Structure 1
């Protein structure tokens, strides 16, 4: 077999319809656009137009806004941190920071920091340096003998 002998399966591709190429082609004269009217003309853009009635997107009220000062934390449960410790991805002697969690694959991108949540069980004594932590997470960490240090300029425990 040679490169010039390779063909596609029969019926796998069709020739494109060439519109507006004479009445004998079956798609001549009006070229599949019907007759007259705005949509038969060129340059028509009537997306959302409802024949003069107020369009739906203008009848509905505007809602909400984007708060540029909002903070988006990576929320990490204690059970997920314990899994990373058991798998050997986190060092129990080093403090748990955003950089350590990124390197361990617990979080994928830094965002505005890390918030520790109390779901799951923590069996290891750890030192956390994070942006925020829930009350239940702080209680569980301190119950395991660890400590939580909230980073300066961030929100307090929530």
Structure 2
């Protein structure tokens, strides 16, 4: 085998359609574009979503929903995750930076502690938000919930 003998796989290369090359080719005259209309002209490009004049799908369907621009999104973290983190690091203070370093939240996430699971260690937890059940469980275990 050498470079001069290399060929593409059989059937992988398709010969392009030669249009506008005389009547004998069967693709002469109108060059397979039909008669008149925008699609027969050079420079024509169909608008995105255009359906030949029929009402397009995105206009047939009703608008719905609402996005509140003032909504504050939190990354929820449950007590069982905090317990696991405290056990792993043997830490008495769990900060947002500590949570981020261990991959439980992204760099720009606001962290909210939620009440699923149990916490047995007396730890101080610092976060941007707490649910009422989470605060209750942390304080019951002898810890402290500090809102940033």
Question: How far did residue 31 of structure 1 move?
Answer: 3.2
Q: Secondary structure at the match of 1:99?
A: helix
In the TM superposition, what are the counterparts of 1:82-93 in structure 2 within 5 Å?
Answer: 82-86=83-87, 88=88, 91-93=89-91
Separation in 1, partners of 2:58, 2:24: 44
1:145 alignment partner in structure 2: 142
Return closer, same or farther for 1:110/1:126 CA change in 2, 3 Å cut-off.
farther
Does the 8 A contact of 1:127 with 1:147 survive in 2? yes
Q: Which moved more, 1:12-21 or 1:72-81?
A: 12-21
1:34 alignment partner in structure 2: 34
Q: Secondary structure at the match of 2:32?
A: coil
Q: Which moved more, 1:39-48 or 1:56-65?
A: 56-65
Does the 8 A contact of 1:92 with 1:124 survive in 2? no
1:125 alignment partner in structure 2: 122
Return closer, same or farther for 1:24/1:128 CA change in 2, 3 Å cut-off.
farther
In the TM superposition, what are the counterparts of 1:45-124 in structure 2 within 5 Å?
Answer: 45-46=46-47, 47-48=49-50, 51=53, 57=58, 63-86=64-87, 88=88, 91-111=89-109, 113-124=110-121
Separation in 1, partners of 2:84, 2:8: 52
Aligned residues: 146
Once superposed, what is the RMSD of the aligned Cα atoms?
A: 3.0
Cα displacement string for residues 67-106 of structure 1 (whole angstroms, at most 9, x for unaligned residues): 33321111111122333345x3xx3425222211111011
Which sections of structure 2, spanning at least 5 residues, go unmatched? none
Which sections of structure 1, spanning at least 5 residues, go unmatched? 152-158
Normalised by the length of structure 2, the TM-score is 0.73
* Large movers: runs of 4+ above 6 Å: none
Separation in 1, partners of 2:107, 2:20: 53
